[in-house]
Homo-oligomer: A and B are copies of this chain.
């Protein structure tokens, strides 16, 4: 089925009460499903980007709290919650810049609050996490439909990183817009920037699009501006990891595309669920995760940076609202300036 990975990017296995997910670090060479039975293993998976993508991280956080609840052996309610809190803190610390992760965790924690027994806590946690996963797909389809209306009948879309079904439970955000537009009969081609250092564009976006028989061409990140100048790009659509009042945080390289799109008069869209919005913070409040040197300095077995040479590896950059034509959400297309306080964002207050 189009835009749906079978098995799913991430899912709750009810028969054995564990999380099953696609190990995205091994794509496209190997398609491998991991059965994850502990919160520690899940934390490692998130840190290693076996699971990645803002909406998928929201679901992973939710399933993580459910897994913590199901596997916790404490019978005393206070001791039980103390364990769950520790597991939640561990999970939230794995990708601090990505807001959906802590959003998913907090939403399940909040739902558990009213439970009177440990057993009820477990049931509520699993049910709330499953609800979040179901809502994610519906949300992506709504984003897709909102965004599809923005695209002309024939259109080449440039995207960066992976904001597709592998970044969500299904369908995708930026790629959800592409899928919905194709579903409406539009002729859409995708240019996928490879997205150094971890190549989510060439490894993941290309993998899921070619599987759906969607026309996709991979380029290095540095080719995008050249193609814009040649008139080969009509629109840019990317996802988001956190949207503050004044800026969009997304995979490193997003800002460069936004600057180049503006220079060429090409519309630059962000597709993201409202769970990615962070109305409480401005750009300056957010610390960008700096990841390991080896992600840039090696590629497989190859050493590509000489020993002793310094490397920078910020995982994200921030794009000011002034460069963004619109943010495509499940509640429609929002054009900056956006009144975030006025949006009906489901945000638990824990």
Contact = CB atoms under 8 A, between A and B. Distances in A.
Interface of A: 28-29, 193-197, 199, 202-203, 206-207, 210, 216-227, 229, 252-253, 255-256, 259-260, 262-263, 296-297, 299-312, 314, 317-318
Contacts of A309: 202, 206-207, 210, 216-218
A303 B26 CA distance: 10
Given A28-B306, A296-B218, A304-B202, A312 B223 contact: yes
A220 B206 contact: no
Copies in the complex: 2
Contacts of A223: 252-253, 312, 314, 317
B305 A256 contact: no
The interface residues of chain A, by DSSP majority, are classed as mixed
A222 B26 CA distance: 23
5 contacts: A28-B306, A206-B306, A220-B221, A222-B256, A259-B259
A276 to B, nearest CB: 19
Contacts of A252: 220, 222-223, 226
A221 B218 contact: no
Given A199-B304, A223-B312, A225-B256, 15 more contacts: A28-B305, A194-B304, A206-B305, A207-B309, A219-B312, A220-B252, A221-B222, A222-B222, A223-B253, A223-B317, A224-B256, A226-B252, A226-B318, A259-B260, A259-B263
A290 to B, nearest CB: 11
A303 to B, nearest CB: 6
Nearest to A301: B300
A218 B297 contact: yes
A226 B311 contact: no
A311 B218 contact: yes
B218 A197 contact: no
Given A194-B196, A259-B260, A305-B202, A310 B225 contact: no
B224 A305 contact: no
B210 A306 contact: yes
A259 B314 contact: no
A115 to B, nearest CB: 44
A256 to B, nearest CB: 4
A301 B216 CA distance: 23
Contacts of A253: 220, 222-223
Nearest to A261: B259
A293 to B, nearest CB: 9
Contacts of A216: 309-310
Contacts of A262: 263
Given A210-B306, A303-B28, A304-B202, A311 B217 contact: yes
A269 to B, nearest CB: 18
Contact of A226 (B255, B303, B307): B255
Contacts of A225: 255-256, 259, 317
A322 to B, nearest CB: 11
Nearest to A320: B229
B296 A299 contact: no
A286 to B, nearest CB: 13
Contacts of A314: 223, 226
